[in-house]
Structure 1
């Protein structure tokens, strides 16, 4: 391996390592929070939906701005450092939260950090990747990200299994978060020629028509893609104990981690559509499964399949969007992608919470499953029509 290739791999590995430790930190407590809200603070599933939705909407507003600022001022690493630092602060605020309003404030801080760091971080991965291997690069990053999530979920299970108090778990989660922040200075950012520094009106940003349609379908899909907190509450409603719920979440993370690199590399080799379309179909079938199936064995399989959906979508989709973005605006377009996901999550979490309260715990999964399958069909039309236009122009 040449020195240049080693530098590329090491840079992507360092970015992934930051995500590994931060996701370990976050997932040590994320699956605990909905249980903490409902069992200790007396919140309803609707309130859980409001908390997740409001927090994600704040992140959404910041993703486009941080992506654009990173493109314009070539300061992606600084923005990543600021965003990851906010997620460490989140754990300290959670420690002192004594009501669901306090948890909401903590989650807003955490999602603010995610909103600041996500687009610049994804742009750094694209910048560090070799030509033709972008899916694999995002797959490597996602594998490390989900491996950290898996380890965090394992800690969450151990916290619950050994009866650790919630606030003690929150305190332990600070340690890997601090480690993540200390790695960021080691990451290299290429300082290319900065684009013309236009006002923040995006008049210089021109998106391909196919990408615009893809974003429209993505937003439709996100309306049914509610917070993972509802999956955990659903498992609990099917008779899983709190510690068993933690194990299910661990299984989901392990599944996504194992499949992330192969899925990303397959998208490089066979094309993004051959991975994305099955990925969205898997999501739709998994959500319909959560509505229809009741046995513990079936829910175990569904959590494994949900991990497969996550692996199929994450690398291939970000690679598709980065490749279709104008060269000077990759961070900006990745920010738009994150914004649409966040606004969709805001609405979907509120919709899911309302449906749960009015029609019962199966309703959000019927809704999400149907939208997942419809989205897969629409994405197939968009991506395949794009291939036909490209072939005709050759």
Structure 2
């Protein structure tokens, strides 16, 4: 509990909001219910969309390898191309949403393209056709993500941003649990892979129906400006934050590497989906509370705590000799890392930039954190193959520690921006 004098001192600092001296967790259900309708709508949309996405995602390697007879290097090319398209479009769509002062059209289009392309994968008879549908799916994500994040930031009051982004991530993670469970049930009912892909149309259509009900947030008219997405137009603090995120992301390889490590340490193949579902479940349960806490203790505090946890997880996974029983709580900690950081990282972006540039800012955020995932995975895989898992996990942990220190010393506390 924060003493009254300390709370008053915090309230008088520029960029900080006064907070009640009451525990935040008992107030959480009421605070969530008081979130704007747009935040609730976007949360439900993300739940349905992630249910559809995670219904198909764990099965994609099997579908490409077994059904379409695609070699691993071709599959890597497909996924790498999809990642690049997604990351680049997030910057373009974010800037376009700012320039048009409207996010809804981009959100509807992005979710709509994904809803159509996922079930169409079931009809692909060759890998180039399947690649086209996979690229379309990731194109939809690229078109919607930055405008959606901007709409979230503009819909919530500054003191609710952490709670809003945390609630959104919680709903997303609930979908990440529901999707694999639905896929497992369908496979248990003897559905083949193409039939499972077709089932993604159901949550996909519901997603599009909800996006059509969204309402845009009005922004004040501004003079027409050229289409400009230069990073130099933002504050030095925001640019430093992106640099720090880049350092961290270089040590953030695909989560598939962590699952492969769990397999090496004795987790059976049949339990790997349950292990990953457990990560999503922990993140879903804790994201709202942890992100709301960032409204109280500060974004940087939550991010730093989460990054320290992530560093410890990587160092521990680098050691051999773990029993299978210990991996379950270790992966539960991985879910806590996601819960502590995902919402707070995005809320910090919104805190650092003016309203008229929030879409472009999220475009840069998603570009940096998206594009660097590919080299991060390549570096991790190369180190694992050349020197072993200990070196790979050690490198990633070192990147996380370096990013944590840089965040503490190089990124100042953001000041609240007045509306233009």
Rounded Cα–Cα distance in structure 1 between residues aligned with 2:294 and 2:180: 28
How many residue pairs are counted as aligned between the two chains?
384
Indicate which of 311, 314, 325 corresponds to 1:284: 311
1-structure distance, mates of 2:396, 2:341: 16
Separation (CA, whole Å) in 2 of partners of 1:59 and 1:337: 13
Distance 2:35 2:77 in 1: 41
Q: What's the secondary structure of 1:30's corresponding residue?
A: helix
Of the three residues 198, 211, 236, the one matched with 1:209 is 236
CA RMSD across the alignment: 2.8
Deviations 1:211-236 (A, max 9, x none): 21111111121122122233333334
- Residue 24 and residue 292 in structure 1: after superposition, are their counterparts in 2 closer, same or farther (change >3 A)? same
Query: For residues 22-41 of structure 1, what are the alpha-carbon distances to aligned partners after superposition, in whole Å with 9 as ceiling and x for unaligned?
Result: 00111112122235455666
Q: Aligned in 2, Cα 1:388/1:84: closer, same or farther, shift over 3 Å?
A: closer
Q: Name the CA distance, whole Å, in 2 between partners of 1:348 and 1:88.
A: 29
Q: Hey, what does 2:275 align to over in structure 1?
A: 248
Alignment of 1:301-312 (within 5 A): 301-312=329-340
Contact kept, 8 Å, 2:50 with 2:175, in 1: the verdict is: yes
Cα pair 1:279 1:312 within 8 Å, conserved: yes
For structure 1, the residue ranges without an aligned partner over 5 or more in a row are: none
Which of these two proteins has the greater Rg computed from alpha carbons? 2
Structure 1 residues 119 and 370, CA gap change in structure 2 (3 angstroms): same
Deviations 1:43-92 (A, max 9, x none): 67766554433321111111111011111112311100111112123313
Mean Cα deviation higher: 24-33 or 152-161: 152-161
Q: Does 1:52 align with 2:83?
A: no
TM-score (norm 1): 0.88
Deviations 1:274-320 (A, max 9, x none): 10001112222222333225432232223211111111111111111
Q: 1:169/1:288 Cα in 2 relative to 1: closer, same or farther (>3 Å)?
A: farther
Of 67, 85, 98, 2:112 maps to: 85
Question: Cα distance, 1:110 vs. partner?
Answer: 1.7
> 1:322 aligned to 340, 346, 350, which one?
350
Query: Matches of residues 323-362 of structure 1 in structure 2 within 5 Å?
Result: 323-360=351-388
Determine if contact 1:63/1:339 at 8 Å carries over to the other structure. Answer: yes
Residue 136 of structure 2 corresponds to residue 109 of structure 1: yes
In the alignment, what sits opposite 1:173?
200
TM-score normalised to structure 2 length: 0.83
CA distance in 2, matches of 1:343, 1:159: 34
Give the superposition deviation at 1:388.
11
Alpha-carbon offset, residue 137 of structure 1 = 0.8
Q: Give the deviation of 1:98 after TM superposition.
A: 5.0
Q: What are the Cα deviations for residues 323-359 of structure 1, in whole angstroms up to 9, with x where unaligned?
A: 1012210011011000001111122233334444444
Q: How many Å apart are 1:99 and its aligned residue?
A: 5.8
Q: Is the 8 A contact 1:8 1:129 kept in 2?
A: yes
1:104-134 per-position Cα deviation (integer Å, ceiling 9, x unaligned): 4433222211111001001111111023111
Q: CA deviation at 1:379?
A: 1.3
Superposed, 1:1-394 pairs within 5 Å as 9-37=36-64, 49-97=76-124, 103-159=130-186, 164-202=191-229, 206-293=233-320, 294-360=322-388, 364-383=392-411, 386-387=412-413
CA contact (8 A) 1:321 1:333 kept: yes
